[in-house]
Amino acid sequence: MTHVYLYPIGDENSLFEFNHICLAMGRGFTKYIERISEVHELNDTLRVIAPGVYLRSGTWQLEIERAEFLVRSASFTPHLANEPSLTIRNSGLLKSETQSVSEKAEIVTSFEGAYLIEESVSAKKLFDFATQSVLEELSRKVDGQKASEVFDFRGQSRREKAP
């Protein structure tokens, strides 16, 4: 089933989801890392250990593909936790003139053993910018899905929070 979430511009929920997807696709880790504490060079990859944040303080472990500087696997373990609260593994490659991302990703998020969320993300096409025709094409494809749900939070007041 396809889910589409519509949020007001700048809404913290939409920004969190956008950042979450960027991480899954191997991009956007810099803002979550305080500094790099260890680097291990392996053939075509770098293994990096770095203190940082993801909802709270902890440690990132990243495997970075040198050719595209794309994070291929990542885990974040909060301080005092026994296991990662976020694990990402991705594969494939999509390129445009100016950027590259992973084609497919698996994300596992757990919150102190209380629950576990497993997600799959895939990218079909990569654009350097979204033109009106691209947005219209995307809208037609989503509207044409038999099993799709649209959650529109654009009319909510700031007190009403999206799930």
Tell me the per-residue pLDDT of 17-71, one tens digit each, with 9 for 90 and over: 778 888 999 999 999 999 999 999 999 999 999 999 998 999 999 999 999 999 9
Spatial separation of the C-alpha atoms in residues 162 and 10, rounded to whole Å? 14
pLDDT at 116: 80
Model pLDDT, residue 158: 47
Which residues are bridge partners to 64 per DSSP? 46, 71
- Which two three-digit tokens encode residue 118? 């497993």
Question: What local confidence, expressed as pLDDT, does residue 80 receive?
Answer: 92
Helix-strand-coil split of the chain, %, nearest 5:
15, 40, 40
Reply yes or no on whether the pLDDT at 100 is more than 90: no
pTM: 0.71
pLDDT at residue 2, rounded to an integer? 63
As a whole number of Å, the end-to-end CA separation of the chain is 17
Distance of CA 156 to the CA centre of its chain: 25
At 104, list the tokens: 């497919």
Of residues 6 and 116, more confidently modeled: 116
How far apart (Å, rounded) are the C-alpha atoms in residues 51 and 58? 6
pLDDT of residue 128: 53
